[in-house]
Amino acid sequence: MKIYLDIDGTMIHEDLARSGQPAVGLEEFLIALRPYETYWLTTHCMNGDPQYAQKLMKKKVSKEFYADIDRIQPTAWSVLKADALDFTSDFIWFDNDVSPEEYTELEQCRENQSLHYVDLMDNPKQLLDITRGILSNK
């Protein structure tokens, strides 16, 4: 199972009241990701270089989680994030902002391939829900 991760609005708040704050349960979420092959799927890493994503995320977690951040692999894409998805593998993509064109690409998903929409504004503890639900059941 591959996991694809957005950052802004998915692991870090982007609403005005909490802008830049890590989502509740971020470190627990990172622990839950350890068994999975995990990839950045964010504008902070769209060129295949993970350095900015790593630097940004390391500001949001304790030093003991730096290795978790470093092990997340980069992806490369230009227009649609969905272009970086491996449709030959099982995956979950966690994101808060998916374009209509990306939803169209996701129509080709088969069983065990999915998008999980994250809305930290509506549910600030959603990463905890994901960790204790979706990731604990895989």
pLDDT 10s digits, 92-135: 999 999 999 999 999 989 999 999 999 998 999 999 999 998 88
pTM of the predicted protein model: 0.94
State the pLDDT at residue 137: 63
CA 63 to chain centre: 20
| pLDDT value of residue 118 | 95
- pLDDT value for 19: 79
* pLDDT given at position 20: 86
19-67 per-position pLDDT tens digit: 789 999 999 999 999 999 999 999 999 899 999 999 999 999 999 999 9
Domain boundaries, the chain: 2-130
The domain over range 2-130 is classified in CATH as 3.40.50:
yes
Q: The tokens of 51 are what? A: 């350095």
| Closest to 114 measured CA to CA, from 89, 83, 80, 78 | 89
**Distance in angstroms (rounded) separating the CA atoms of residues 66 and 59:** 9
**Residue 16's pLDDT band (cuts 50, 70, 90):** low
Confidence of residue 15 (pLDDT cuts 50, 70, 90): confident
Q: How far is it, in rounded angstroms, from Cα 17 to Cα 31?
A: 27
Burial bucket for residue 118 (CB in 10 Å: 0-12, 13-18, 19+) = buried
Cα–Cα distances (Å) from 60 to 20, 39, 96, in that order, read 9, 18, 18
